[in-house]
Each structure stands twice: as structure tokens, then as C-alpha cells.
Amino acid sequence: MVEAYFAWVHKVEPSVLANSKTHKGLQYSINQEQYLRVFLEDGEVPMDNNAALSEGITYLHFCSEMLITMHLAEKSVA
């Protein structure tokens, strides 16, 4: 079903009026396809990030933690 949705999006997007809300929605799907696929294919992925936000985890916080983890992993390999 996910494959069919993205095939349809890629098929109809060129024929939709460029400045319409429908076109903007289709472009969003195309631009976010990689991330939407994860959400649509894995039932464990939450619809929103409210749980993370209520724990005080922001995107910036997540990225900084990831960079620190990667840096420490690199040091332990060297």
C-alpha cells in the first residue's frame, strides 16, 4: 500500500496545477518520502514527537547527543 501511494504521488504530481494546495501536498510527500516511509511501514513509530518533547528532548538536543556519541565511538576505535 505504501509503494502504491508513492507511485501514485510521483505519477500525478507533474499534472497538478503548480501553485495549488494539492501540488504542495504532493511535493511534501515527495520531499519527505524517506521519512514518511518509515512512519507508514513501522507501526512502532509514533505519529508525533509529543513524548520526546514532554521529556525535554528537542531535535537540537538529539543531534548534539548523537554527535557526542559518534565522537566517543571514533575515539574508542582509534
Q: Please provide residue 7's backbone torsions phi and psi, each rounded to the nearest 5 degrees.
A: -65, -45
Q: Enter the DSSP assignment of 50.
A: H
Cβ proximity of 21 and 15 under 8 Å = no
Top-confidence residue, 61 or 72: 72
pTM recorded for the entire structure: 0.54
User: Is pLDDT above 80 for 67?
Assistant: no
* Total number of residues shown for the chain: 78
Top-confidence residue, 45 or 64: 45
